[in-house]
Structure 1
Amino acid sequence: MAMKKILVAGIFVSAFLLLLQCEEAHAAEFVVGDDQGWGPQTNVSRWLEGKSFKAGDVLIFRYTCPYCSFVTVISDYYYRLCDAYSGLKKFYNSGNDRVILDYGDNFFVPSYHEYCEKLKFKVFAN
């Protein structure tokens, strides 16, 4: 009887681990701005065209510009205001930042206010 329980538990754990690997395999990576990277030259609207995102996908922000750091904000309210700090969720400034998308709306705002209207964007992840 004990061997049956161990066997059933082993099968369950194996199936669970297999499911976890399958989920990871479906996550896609997107370099924001493609070859141009992230910065004042980025046409975010054009870059977003035709793309769809899923929760767990990764956005990669590559930049060398000292004013190209950005933040994620907690709501559409702060996004519309270009308020990078009152609704701050997380600050990014490494020049090679990776953001894993949460389910729902994800809001990105440049920390340098002068770039905000041009570079802010949001994506919905299923």
Structure 2
Amino acid sequence: MAMNKILVAGIFVSACLLLLQCEEARAAEFVVGDDQGWGPQTNVSRWLEGKRFKAGDVLIFRYTCSLCSFVTVISDYYYRSCDAFSGLKKSYNSGNDHVVLDYGDNFFVPSYHVYCEQGLMKFKVFAN
């Protein structure tokens, strides 16, 4: 009987530890621009300061501006050249877009080419 209680207690403790580890593995969510939201007024460089990202984290883009849609591109080349469509990975335009970060560099380019050329709404993040 005592052996059964020890076995049950061991299983309970193991399950609790497993649940705690699952909690730590949960992806973090980041609202791009925080309360200011996503748009040409957002200082993305300042918003990125001090943030560390992991693969699986989610960036949330909230906006109402019709020119604030954006795309993810497949490489630094398309990012630097503001070529939002030749290197297109995925396009976003809902105003409440959720992007799950891949491991490595993730490149974000505004769909509106003029913003990109002005350095607005263009950024990249590295996710470990």
TM normalised by structure 1 equals 0.82
CA distance in 2, matches of 1:24, 1:78: 34
CA distance in 2, matches of 1:82, 1:115: 9
Q: 1:24 to 1:88 in 2, by over 3 A?
A: farther
Q: Which residue of 1 aligns with 2:59?
A: 59
CA distance in 2, matches of 1:59, 1:91: 14
| Aligned AA (2:106) | N
Give, in angstroms, the shift of residue 115 of structure 1. Answer: 1.0
SS in 2 for 1:123: strand
CA distance in 2, matches of 1:111, 1:34: 21
For 1:1-126, list aligned pairs within 5 A.
22=22, 25-116=25-116, 117-126=119-128
Q: Deviations over 1:64-104 (max 9, x none)?
A: 00000000000000000011000000000000000000000
RMSD: 2.0
CA distance in 1, matches of 2:113, 2:51: 26
SS in 1 for 2:46: helix
| Aligned AA (1:98) | H
TM normalised by structure 2 equals 0.80
CA distance in 2, matches of 1:53, 1:26: 12
CA distance in 1, matches of 2:23, 2:72: 24
Q: Which residue of 2 aligns with 1:7?
A: none
Query: Runs of 4 or more off by more than 6 Å in structure 1?
Result: none
Q: Which runs of 5+ in 1 are unaligned?
A: 1-10
Report the structure number with the largest CA radius of gyration: 2
Q: Which runs of 5+ in 2 are unaligned?
A: 1-10
Q: What is the aligned length?
A: 111
% identical equivalent positions: 88
